[in-house]
Amino acid sequence: MHSVPEPGRVRTTRRDAPTPPRGSGVSFVMPVLNERAYRRRAVESTLEQRIDGPIELVLALGPSSDGTTELARELAAADDRIVLVDNPRADIPVGLNPAIRASRYPTIVRVDAHSELAPGYAAHALDTLARTGAANVGGVMRADGRTPFQRAVARAYNSPIGLGGGAYHGGRREEEAESAYLGVMRRAVLEEVGAFDESIRRGEDWELNLRIRSAGYRVWFDPELSVTYWPRDSWHRLARQFHATGTWRGELVRRYGLKNSLRFFAPPALVLALVAAVVVLVLQLTGVLAGAGSLVASLVYVPIAAYVALVLVVAAGPGGGKGWRDKLWTLAVLPTMHLSWGLGFLRGVLTGAQETVDTSRLSGRNTPLP
């Protein structure tokens, strides 16, 4: 089930995914690693879903050090709908595949440890799958935060400036999509295209959806579907997360070229513009550049000035959080996300992702729940 066929040209004509009979059941799958502070509510919001048929939740347990595994076993002992599988390598796709194999039902719902499904999420997704004939459907990631820093990160996630305007970060129109956040998927299609590519540690959902679309199926965005996401809760965890994500996007560009959206190239362009501006500044200060040449070279500052102005406008604008600390953190969060991602992207393009992992998931410290 984990073999990975090379995706060819994405078909322009679409075929409907198999639709199982009503009441066939849904399997939720969730990788778990060092997320005890979020785990219980993520599990509860999943098991509270009501559909026409049975449900189960398969947890893929990574080698946690914060008590997450013990909590998962406690929850499983109290509810026979929870199934546990081991994920000793801790990588998300490596955990998702055995969770899918251990599950029983014909529709698979991916759930993240930092997420909470809105009431009615699964039932609405099943209706959308049946109505559209799609193989995978996803909705809006609605980021939220508990501290000034986390609220600033959430604001960046929810803004088209923060993560580049993907549909699941605030789209309002139901339509066919490039990818889907988390995803509610037909098992038959996953088996046909090969499930998750275990050689990809970040961006595995985008790559899977590329293969789904290449096989002729629809990936669908429905803005009525909503998932609450709790982002990283400290600056160093955020920087590590985005550097790893950018590195793997660079790897995906190496593998799939311009099948990647052009919006993914904006952060590395910002990094290169910043490097060019620093070089020009040094040459101007040392007198190497002077006169007309210096004036022309100064044009390199224009995109940097425009970016700084944009960040200031976003930080000071409406929806800026609960106070001045939220706004100040926004000034730090946006460049951290963009520059970390951009640096990682350039590394990934030049050298490949190799064994890069998201080390922000390895720390057991999380913001306590209220």
- The pLDDT of residue 233: 86
Q: Are residues 62 and 211 in the same domain?
A: yes
Q: Which of 214, 231, 248 is the last residue of a domain?
A: 231
pTM to 2 decimals? 0.85
User: Which parts of the chain register pLDDT below 70?
Assistant: 1-12, 38, 164-171, 318-322, 361-370
Q: Give strand pairing partners of 176.
A: 220
Q: Are residues 30 and 105 in the same domain?
A: yes
Domain count within the chain: 2
**249 part of a folded domain:** no
Q: Are residues 261 and 178 in the same domain?
A: no
Task: Collapse the DSSP code of 212 into the 3-class scheme (helix H, G, I; strand E, B; otherwise coil) and give the result.
Answer: helix
Report the alpha-carbon distance of residue 60 to residue 97 in Å, rounded: 9
- The pLDDT of residue 14: 81
**248 part of a folded domain:** no
Q: Are residues 85 and 160 in the same domain?
A: yes
**106 part of a folded domain:** yes
Q: Are residues 177 and 31 in the same domain?
A: yes
- The pLDDT of residue 68: 83
**197 part of a folded domain:** yes
Nearest Cα neighbor of 367 from 104, 98, 36 is 36
Q: Residues near 30 by Cβ (< 8 Å), separated by ≥ 6?
A: 42, 43, 46, 57, 58, 59, 60, 99, 110, 111, 112, 113
Q: Are residues 223 and 263 in the same domain?
A: no
CATH number at residue 46: 3.90.550.10
Q: Are residues 176 and 110 in the same domain?
A: yes
Length of the chain: 370
- Span 297-311, pLDDT tens digits: 999 999 999 999 999
Residues of the domain holding 216: 26-231
**17 part of a folded domain:** no
Report the alpha-carbon distance of residue 316 to residue 328 in Å, rounded: 9
Q: Are residues 44 and 124 in the same domain?
A: yes
Report the alpha-carbon distance of residue 191 to residue 227 in Å, rounded: 26
- The pLDDT of residue 172: 79
**13 part of a folded domain:** no
Write b or e for each residue in 35-70: b if 16 or more Cβ atoms lie within 10 A of its Cβ, otherwise e.
bbbbbeebbebbbebebebebbbbbbbbebebebbe
What is the 3 state secondary structure string of 275-290?
Answer: HHHHHHHHHHHCCCCC
Q: Are residues 149 and 95 in the same domain?
A: yes
Q: Are residues 186 and 274 in the same domain?
A: no
- The pLDDT of residue 66: 80
Measured from the Cβ of residue 95, the count of other Cβ atoms closer than 10 Å reads: 27
Q: Is the dihedral of CA 72, 77, 83, 85 positive or negative?
A: positive
**370 part of a folded domain:** no
Report the alpha-carbon distance of residue 79 to residue 49 in Å, rounded: 14
Nearest Cα neighbor of 367 from 155, 157, 147 is 147
Q: In this structure, are residues 149 and 322 in contact, taking their beta carbons and an 8 Å threshold?
A: no
Distances (CA, A) of 302 to 276, 297, 305, 308, 350: 11, 10, 5, 10, 27
Distances (CA, A) of 340 to 64, 239, 241: 25, 6, 8
**20 part of a folded domain:** no
- The pLDDT of residue 34: 78
Q: Are residues 261 and 197 in the same domain?
A: no
Q: Are residues 279 and 226 in the same domain?
A: no
